[in-house]
Each structure stands twice: as structure tokens, then as C-alpha cells.
A and B are shown apart, each in its own frame.
Chain A
């Protein structure tokens, strides 16, 4: 998958599972203040993306550093590349 496809799938998954407006899915959108995610949603985001991409995010320490949608895109891209490389 290309980076654009990964970003597209991340956005589509979040829009579908969390009833988000596609228009607000910009890389600089803050997950909490901008997209309205709460602490429960973060657990579900991890599960949704694990199921969408086949990557393991649950024990990934970098998840704690994610603040924006762009951070999430980059994390998933890195994890996907690690998975493809291994």
C-alpha cells in the first residue's frame, strides 16, 4: 500500500466507525479537541486500525505521543512498513 492509500484507509475507517465528518479529517486536526475523541475512543481507534491494517498497536509506546490525525497517519505508515519489512 502506498502512503496515500494508508492515509485514505485510516480516514475512511475512522469516519465509518466514529461517525465523523470527512470534511474535518485534516492532518493537523487534533484528535481530542478537534475530532472529539474521548479516552474510550482511543482504545477503539487502536482496535479499528489493527483490524484494518493487520498491525499491532496495543502495546506500541508511540501511540501515547499521537496528538493529531497526521501523527496517527505517520504511526500507521511506520508500523505498516515495519510489518512489510519483517
Chain B
């Protein structure tokens, strides 16, 4: 019988694929063990030289790890410096890459920019990998349900970065207005044709989304509208679900867990974390009808996500 902390082999292979080497999971694990995480984790990611009897069996949320200040300092220095290098390199080479992508793929500009954003996120995942243990479950649900509406809970500023672990890149993100006002993000978001759902009237949002999904693309929304301050699933707004019902699109829920360990709202420094992304099976929105069908869909999705997030603790 598999114990709660034993890894899912499929996840280990997926993770090896993300980070390029079969021993990537062990490389991720060792610094975390040195940082004191070994005794609290409820899930393993398959480091073959680890002693399972040393693992705790308590759910992750019940025991917050304490990290040496040196580990925190090294992590923050490492991530900030490498992110800066990554960003400068990306800015420097993106004009050339853009031309190359245009010539080779013949994709529209917006799709190429989304692809670049996704690759940027993938490199970021590698940057944080010595300090963040990432597990992705159910990635096939994300890949096979196109076009669809992805909905994800929101815990941290870095949630968008972690979503680059999904195997799909051509996803249009629908956001509130504030990120569009950040000068270092706004141009890329506009080129990627992300949707500002706070500024546009509802009819225009529907028309825009209809055009996007008509091209076979999916969209992503955070139904909570903002990061959770207490780690719980807060109130869900209805927009994503109204779109799903109106446009007859399936909903694929992505349950994000652990990103608030890395960087919760209100804290300015990062900490090592165990992050889990789980894609649930697509939900058929056509099963929800009537004037308030989207509200029933919203409640149903939230219930499933809540069960997933609680279940992944054990």
C-alpha cells in the first residue's frame, strides 16, 4: 500500500522533464533537507537516497518549516539576481527571437509573445528549483481540454510564474486593471492580448473571449479576484463561470498549493516552499443552465477545488 508520502512516479518523470535531469528531484530535495524541511514534508518527490522513515506524516499545512536565515538570504539573493539576469537577457534577445519565431512558425505576434512569456516562466522555475519543490498533477487535463476556461485559486504573486509548469502556453490571461499599469509588465501583456476584465464592459469581454476561443485558444482567470490573505479559498466571483455557461466552454480548475509559503501577500522576502499544482478533470458547463446556472457552476467548481486542496494535505 502506498504511504501518503510516497511519490507518484508519473510526477517524478514529469518533474525530471521540467528540469532536464533524472536526478533533478534529488538536487531539489537536498537543500530543502538541509534547510530543515525533511522532517515535516507529507509528500516525497522521489529522491532515491532518502530514508522514508525520516519523513513526517503530518499534512504540510500543519507544520510550518523554519529555515536558517542564511538559507533565506541565499535563496533571495539567488532568485533576485538570476531573475534580473534572465529578464535582461530576455529583453536583449527577444527582438531577434521574435523575428526568428515569425519566420519559422508564422504564428501571430500575440501567440509568439505568449510563448515567450511561458518560456520565461519555465526558466524561472529552473531558477527557483534549488529552493522550491514542485509537483504537477493532472497535466493531461490541462492539455486535452482546449479550448477551455482555466480557473485557479490565488495565493501568491508567483502563481502566474508557477502556471508556466502547465504544458500549454497559448493561454490568454484575464486580469484586473492593476497589472496593466505596471510599466515592466504592461507592454508584454498588451502584446500578448491579455484581457483587462475590470476596464471593459461585459459585452465587450464576451465578444473578445468568443474571438479568442474561436481561434482554439483558452483563457485563464483567478475567480477570487485577488490573493488570499489566509490561505483559504475565499469568495469566488462569477465572471469565469458566466463566460463558461454563455460560451459553452469546459472549466478546468487548477488547484495551487504552497505558493504562499514562498511569498505570501504582504511579505517581501521569499522562503523555500513545496508547491503543488493539480489540474482537475474538465467540468462540462452545459450541465448548468438557467438564469443562475453560472452560480451553480461556480459553487460546484469551488467545492471540487476545496476538496482537492484539503485532500492534497493527506
Contact residues of A with B, CB < 8 Å? 17-20, 36, 38-41, 44, 47-48, 51
Contacts and interface: CB of A to CB of B under 8 A. Distances in A.
B292 A51 contact: yes
B238 A41 contact: yes
Main secondary structure of the interface of A (DSSP, over half): helix
Contact of A44 (B201, B234, B235, B295): B295
B202 A44 contact: no
A40 to B, nearest CB: 6
A17 B295 contact: yes
A40 B292 contact: no
Contact of A40 (B234, B236, B239): B239
A50 B64 CA distance: 47
Interface residues of B, number: 13
A37 B291 CA distance: 18
Contacts of A51: 291-292
**3 nearest A-B residue pairs (beta carbon):** A19-B235, A47-B291, A40-B238
Contacts of B202: 39-40
A18 B239 contact: no
14 contacts: A17-B292, A18-B235, A19-B235, A38-B237, A38-B239, A39-B201, A40-B202, A40-B237, A40-B242, A41-B238, A44-B238, A47-B291, A51-B291, A51-B292
Interface in B224-269: 234-239, 242
Contacts of B242: 40
B58 to A, nearest CB: 29
A37 to B, nearest CB: 9
Given A19-B236, A41-B238, A44-B238, 19 more contacts: A17-B292, A17-B295, A18-B235, A19-B234, A19-B302, A20-B235, A36-B235, A38-B237, A38-B239, A39-B201, A40-B202, A40-B237, A40-B239, A40-B242, A41-B237, A44-B295, A47-B291, A47-B292, A48-B292
B266 to A, nearest CB: 19
Contacts of A19: 234-236, 302
Q: Which among A19, A36, A39 has the greatest number of chain B C-beta atoms within 10 A?
A: A19
A17 B295 CA distance: 7
